Amino acid sequence: MRSGIIAVLVGAMACHPANGGTVPAPQKVSVHEVLTSPSLVGKTVEVTGRCLGYSVPTIAKGSPPVTRSDWQLEDQGEAVWVTGRMTDGCTATTPAPAASTISALVAQDTLPGLGGQKPVARQYLVRK
Amino acid sequence: MKALHRICVVAALATAAACGGGSNENGGGGGGGTREWTVMVYMAADNSLAVQGILDLDEMEDAGINDKVQVVAQAEFSPSVLDQQQCTAACFNRPNFNTFRYAITQAGGSARNGPDRGTVSEIGGGSNVDMTDPNTLKDFINWAKTNFPANHYLLVLWNHGGGYTGLIQDETSGGSGLMSLADLSAGLTGAGPIDVVDFDMCLMAGYETLAKINGLVNFAVLSEEVVPGEGNPYTSIIDGIQANPAQDARTLSGMIVDRFNASYQGSKASTTLSAYDLSGFAAFETALNSLAADLQAGLPGLGATISQSAGASQKYTIVELTDLVNFLDTLNTKVTGQAALQAKIAALRTAATATAFRINNRARTGVGQTQGGDVADVSRSTGLNIVLPSGTAPDILPQSGNGSLTAYQTLLPGKAWTTFLAAYAGGQATTPVTDQGDTRFEAYLVWDPAAIAQDADVDFWMLEPDGNIYVPAFGSVTPNGTMSNDSYGDQTNFEGYLSNRFVEKGDYLIFANLWRDPANFQPAYDLAYRYDQTAGFDLFFQGNGQPNPVLSLQTSWLNDPTPTLGEVIGGAYTDLQYVATQTFNAPPAPLARRGPTASTASLKTSGKGFTPAQIATLRRLVTIDRLGGAASPRRFTGLWQMPFTARGGR
Query: Over 90: is that where the pLDDT of A84 sits?
Result: no
Which residues of chain B are within 8 Å of residue A69 when distances are taken between CB atoms? 160, 202-203, 226, 317
Go through the domains of chain A in sequence order and give each one's CATH number. Answer: 25-127 (2.40.50)
Query: Over 90: is that where the pLDDT of B346 sits?
Result: yes
d(CA A64, CA B525): 49
Q: For A13, which of B17, B268, B644 is closest by C-beta distance?
A: B644
**What mean pLDDT is predicted for residues B120-130?**
90
* Residue B538, helix vs strand vs coil: strand
Q: For B644, which of A12, A44, A53 is closest by C-beta distance?
A: A12
Q: Which residues contact B628 (CB under 8 A, 6 or more apart)?
A: B455, B516, B517, B518, B519
Q: Which of B201, B203, B370, B445 to mutate to test the interface with A (most CBs of A within 10 A)?
A: B370
Q: Are B569 and B463 in contact (CB under 8 A)?
A: no
* Residue A11, helix vs strand vs coil: helix
Whole-number mean pLDDT of chain B? 83
Which residues of chain A are within 8 Å of residue B484 when distances are taken between CB atoms? 1-2, 5
What pLDDT score was predicted for residue B5?
A: 38
**What mean pLDDT is predicted for residues B225-253?**
96
d(CA B45, CA B77): 5
ipTM, 2 decimals? Answer: 0.73
What's the angle, vertex CA B579, arms to CA B551 and CA B624, rounded to 5?
40
Question: Chain A: residue nearest B403 by CA?
Answer: A91
Amino acid at B326: N
Ranges A1-5, A30-34, A71-75, B78-82: which has the least confidence:
A1-5
Question: Chain B: residue nearest A68 by CA?
Answer: B229
Which residues of chain B are within 8 Å of residue A23 when distances are taken between CB atoms? 534-535
Per-residue pLDDT tens over the stretch B254-297:
999 999 999 999 888 899 999 999 999 999 999 999 999 999 99
Go through the domains of chain B in sequence order and give each one's CATH number. Answer: 2-263 (3.40.50.11970), 283-356+387-392+401-430 (no CATH), 438-647 (2.60.60)
Q: Which of A63, A82, A117 to mutate to test the interface with B (most CBs of B within 10 A)?
A: A63
In order, the DSSP letters of B350-411 are: HHHH-TTTEEEEEEE--SSGGGGSPP---TT--S-EEE---SSTTSS--SSSTTSHHHHHHH
Selection from A57-66, B115-124, B471-480 with the highest mean pLDDT: B115-124
Q: For B485, which of A1, A59, A65 is closest by C-beta distance?
A: A1
What pLDDT score was predicted for residue B239?
A: 98
Q: For B10, which of A19, A56, A116 is closest by C-beta distance?
A: A116
Amino acid at B51: V
Residues linked to residue B564 through DSSP beta bridges, in sequence order: B602
Q: What distance in Å separates residue B282's CA from the closest CA in chain A?
A: 31
Whole-number mean pLDDT of chain A? 77
Ranges A2-11, B130-139, B299-308, B432-441: which has the least confidence:
A2-11
Expressed in angstroms, the distance from the first to the final Cα of chain A is: 18
**Is the Cβ of A53 closer than 8 Å to some Cβ of chain B?**
yes
Query: Over 70: is that where the pLDDT of B120 sits?
Result: yes
A residues 63..102 contacting B (CB < 8 A):
63-70, 72, 83-85, 88, 91-94, 102
Query: For the stretch B448-463, what's the b/e string if a residue is b when 16 or more beta carbons lie within 10 angstroms of its beta carbon?
Result: bbebbebebbbbbbbb
A residues 14..33 contacting B (CB < 8 A):
15-23
Instruction: Provide the total of helices (H) and of strands (E) in chain B, helices listed first.
Output: 18, 26
Q: Which of A16, A69, A88 to mutate to test the interface with B (most CBs of B within 10 A)?
A: A69
Per-residue pLDDT tens over the stretch B285-344:
999 999 999 999 998 889 989 999 999 999 998 889 999 999 999 999 999 999 999 999
Do residue A114 and residue B54 have CB atoms under 8 angstroms apart?
A: yes
Do residue B228 and residue A66 have CB atoms under 8 angstroms apart?
A: yes
Do residue B162 and residue A92 have CB atoms under 8 angstroms apart?
A: yes
**Whose CA is closest to B54, among B11, B12, B16, B10?**
B10
Ranges B32-36, B357-361, B603-607: which has the least confidence:
B603-607
Where helices occur in B179-314 by DSSP H, the ranges are 181-188, 207-213, 234-243, 249-263, 281-297, 303-311
Q: Are A115 and B6 in contact (CB under 8 A)?
A: no
With pLDDT > 90 as the criterion, what percentage of chain B qualifies?
57
Query: Over 80: is that where the pLDDT of A24 sits?
Result: no
Rg (CA), chain B: 30
